[in-house]
Structure 1
Amino acid sequence: MEPFGEYSLGFYSVEFSQDGREIVAGCNKNSIYVYDLEANKPILCIQAHKDDVNTVTYADESCHLMYSGSDDHTCKVWDRRCLTSVTRPAGVLVGHLEGITFIDSRGDGRYFISNGKDQTIKLWDIRKMSSTTTASKAKGQRIPTYSWDYRWMDYPGVGKDHKHPNDHSLMTYRGHRVLRTLIRCYFSPVFTTGQKYIYTGSHDGCVYIFDIVS
């Protein structure tokens, strides 16, 4: 499938469904695709964000809910049972000041974490999500913006400790460096750790582990 012309469609994130029948993918055309592997064709295309979709994942094994993160700084929740020809997210979660590089679901359809180019990991509860209209309002406060490219520049906002005025996240974790590539983050295994930790790579060559319980 080449809906935008040869070589123009690039995918940044691909994940299998729990039953192995589908894959969900995020691309550089601001869109999310769901592919039926048995039918060998796309069954859903969502014009999801205002910029590249760097990461997308299923919320749980049911595959009804999906989470996406974009260079437009937002995380969105999608309920496939409610999607129509005019696709709108079930909700939006704001708090990152820069683009989102990766999302990992806890697998319970409620919590997920995201890595951002603002050099933070955020923990989210989708019960705190807002509508698109509400999320876009900044209560008259200015959100800082910088002209930079994470692929070859250092983040100019490091150490300034800005916070989004409508931050929906439960917790923010700092210390690692999200530069040069789409750095990932994950919950620790449920059977050995009870998912009490978050771990992430970093541009400085280290692995950072955060205790989300304490």
Structure 2
Amino acid sequence: MEDQPSQFQKTLIKQYPARTASETAESRYWRRFRAPDTSQQVGAVTSIDFCPLYPYNYAVTSSTRVIIFDAHTRRPLTTLSRFKDKAYSGTFRSDGRLLVAGGETGFVQVFDPQKQTLLRQLKGHQRPVHTTRFAPDKMHVLSGSDDATIRYWDITAGEQLFRLDGHTDYIRSSACSPSSQDTWATGSYDHTCKIWDIRNKQCVMTMEHGGPVEATAWLPGGSLLATAGGTEIKIWNVLAGGQLLARLANHQKTVTSLCTASSAGPAATSAPRLLSGSLDGHVKVYELDEFKVTHATKYPGPVMSVGISPNAALLAVGLANGQLLVRKHSHNKGAVPGLPGAPSKQKVPYQRRLTAANYRYFTRGGNEKAAPGDVQVQLPGQKKLAAYDQMLRRFEYRAALDAALATEQVEIVANLLEELAARSGLGAALGGRDAQQLVPLLAHLQKHIVDPRHSNLFIGILNRVLDTYGPALGVSEDVDMKIRQVREQVKLEAKLQNTLLRLQGSLEPILSVALSAGGHSEE
């Protein structure tokens, strides 16, 4: 006689259509940045700047200090605290030996980050200085202030060379063109971005952004300029006289930061990328051919600053609540060959020769996948059952439901509940539970009861649980709390559905009129 238990059929898990589009190589690249190392700063992280040279240490400006972090350990190396009030815009010189920063007092200060010494204190601005940058020649600094002036300094002599006037409101950003060390861009709260030629000491171009400009960034090559103001990013063709090429409106709140990654993206299509951070808590990545978003990451607070290392190995994000989150790419271990400061020689890992003296020689090919035309021979043997199927096989329905809940996979739980209902085993699975066994079930219902794929099933299960354990409410505080959370979740979903129905009712007459007008126009 054939063994009856061997005829048990495993629980069939339904396959649902994918809820999102298939993941692209670009998305996989950015998702390989590991979970962030988080550190809490004293105040909002207003600026992040990576040193252009290996090992690409980075300077973080927060409250009254500029902190320099080690790129390998992500731990503080140096703290520059020679500020009487808030510090702004701590940025490295191209050789990494000096650092310049502005501040609330209006001073522009130049530091030696290795010796932690203040080298120059440049005085001239009457109001806070929010943007400071070294010129490519390493001997000059450009600064922009809330007094609506731009000043160009000689750090060797410690004096101002000239002053540029033209903006009528706070100046919050500046950037030097990568193709010309005499061409600078500045962004202001007067809604304009101006291009300056410091040889002639005059403005050569003005672009109307349409909102207070928070950030400016030159794209690689120096012909295109990105400005961020309000919820929009605009791309300008400077060589074409400031022609607007693209308008990117992908953020819901003010865009606060822009930066470019010169060697980011999948290895096969490595190309520059533009990154933006916003008060909506998102950091978004744009490709520079059609200026489309290729990846977006949500952070737990408004984003104030974004920075990426020259080798695209570290991504740092500063939040308004003082959190600094630094993520390392899992496949990018060191400097990119050819970039400044990168090691000239790289060690080639030793690969052991595969011979009959190795165990792997006899197991080679075991992980190979069959080609579409190959014939597959099934090996004899019984397939291993999942824990919940083993419990079902022994008619232990309560234990089977507990095992399914432990997987935290909604499809498994839903299909098991349907199987229990078909076996008339829901009563045995749901009944006789103490508070400790009831809480995981209620937690699962709270999380997935608004999922339209399973809402009908879980609402029925919830009603059955309330009927069974209603008289016992008030005995366990944990159970009562979970019941309240489920109720709030259902009330919130009902409110959302009512809002959507009202919105649908408002849109139907508008759409009907629009369709009618379209039909008449064709006639």
TM-score by length of 2: 0.30
**1:127 Cα offset (Å):** 1.6
| Equivalent in 40, 43, 52 of residue 116 of structure 2 | 40
C-alpha spacing 1:123/1:38, structure 2 compared with 1 (3 Å) = same
**1:106 partnered with 2:182:** no
**1:128 Cα offset (Å):** 2.2
2:209–2:227 Cα contact (<8 Å) kept:
no
**1:74 partnered with 2:149:** yes
Map of 1:206 onto structure 2: 232
C-alpha spacing 1:212/1:2, structure 2 compared with 1 (3 Å) = closer
Q: Distance in 1 between matches of 2:141 and 2:96?
A: 16
Q: String of CA shifts for 1:39-60, please: whole Å, max 9, x gaps.
A: 1121111113011111010110
Structure with more of its chain in helix, by fraction: 2
**1:21 Cα offset (Å):** 1.6
| Superposed counterparts of 1:60-139, under 5 Å | 60=136, 62-83=137-158, 87=159, 89-107=160-178, 108-129=180-201
Q: Distance in 1 between matches of 2:218 and 2:192?
A: 15
| Equivalent in 202, 212, 215 of residue 178 of structure 1 | 212
Map of 1:143 onto structure 2: none
Map of 1:161 onto structure 2: none
**1:2 Cα offset (Å):** 5.8
| Superposed counterparts of 1:11-26, under 5 Å | 11-26=87-102
Q: String of CA shifts for 1:131-184, please: whole Å, max 9, x gaps.
A: xxxxxxxxxxxxxxxxxxxxxxxxxxxxxxxxxxxxx310100134117xxx11
Runs of at least 4 residues off by over 2 Å = 1-4
Q: Distance in 2 between matches of 1:35 and 1:82?
A: 15
Q: Distance in 2 between matches of 1:46 and 1:97?
A: 23
2:215–2:227 Cα contact (<8 Å) kept:
yes
1:20 counterpart SS class = coil
1:112 counterpart SS class = strand
Q: String of CA shifts for 1:81-133, please: whole Å, max 9, x gaps.
A: 332xxx3x11111110111111101154311000011000000001222xxxx
Map of 2:417 onto structure 1: none
Which structure is richer in relative contact order (CA contacts within 8 A, separation 6 or more)?
1
**1:56 partnered with 2:83:** no
**1:31 Cα offset (Å):** 0.4
Q: String of CA shifts for 1:6-47, please: whole Å, max 9, x gaps.
A: xx4211211011111221101111101111011112111111
2:199 counterpart SS class = helix
Q: Distance in 1 between matches of 2:153 and 2:114?
A: 23
State the one-letter code of the partner of 2:218: F
Structure with more of its chain in strand, by fraction: 1
Q: Distance in 1 between matches of 2:184 and 2:162?
A: 14
1:59–1:106 Cα contact (<8 Å) kept:
no
1:2–1:9 Cα contact (<8 Å) kept:
no
The unaligned stretches of length 5 or more in structure 1 are: 130-167
Q: Distance in 2 between matches of 1:48 and 1:34?
A: 14
Q: Distance in 1 between matches of 2:81 and 2:116?
A: 14
TM-score by length of 1: 0.70
State the one-letter code of the partner of 1:169: C
| Equivalent in 195, 220, 230 of residue 189 of structure 1 | 220
- Max radius of gyration: which structure? 2
- How many residue pairs align between the two structures? 160
Map of 2:354 onto structure 1: none
1:102 counterpart SS class = strand
C-alpha spacing 1:126/1:30, structure 2 compared with 1 (3 Å) = same
2:194–2:206 Cα contact (<8 Å) kept:
yes
1:176–1:201 Cα contact (<8 Å) kept:
no
- Identity of counterpart residues, as a percentage? 25
1:66 counterpart SS class = strand
C-alpha spacing 1:82/1:201, structure 2 compared with 1 (3 Å) = same
Q: Distance in 2 between matches of 1:110 and 1:100?
A: 19
The unaligned stretches of length 5 or more in structure 2 are: 1-79, 241-523
When the two chains are superposed, the root-mean-square deviation of aligned CA atoms in Å is 1.7
Q: String of CA shifts for 1:188-207, please: whole Å, max 9, x gaps.
A: 112xxxx111101121x221
Map of 2:411 onto structure 1: none
Q: Distance in 1 between matches of 2:117 and 2:82?
A: 13
1:50 counterpart SS class = coil
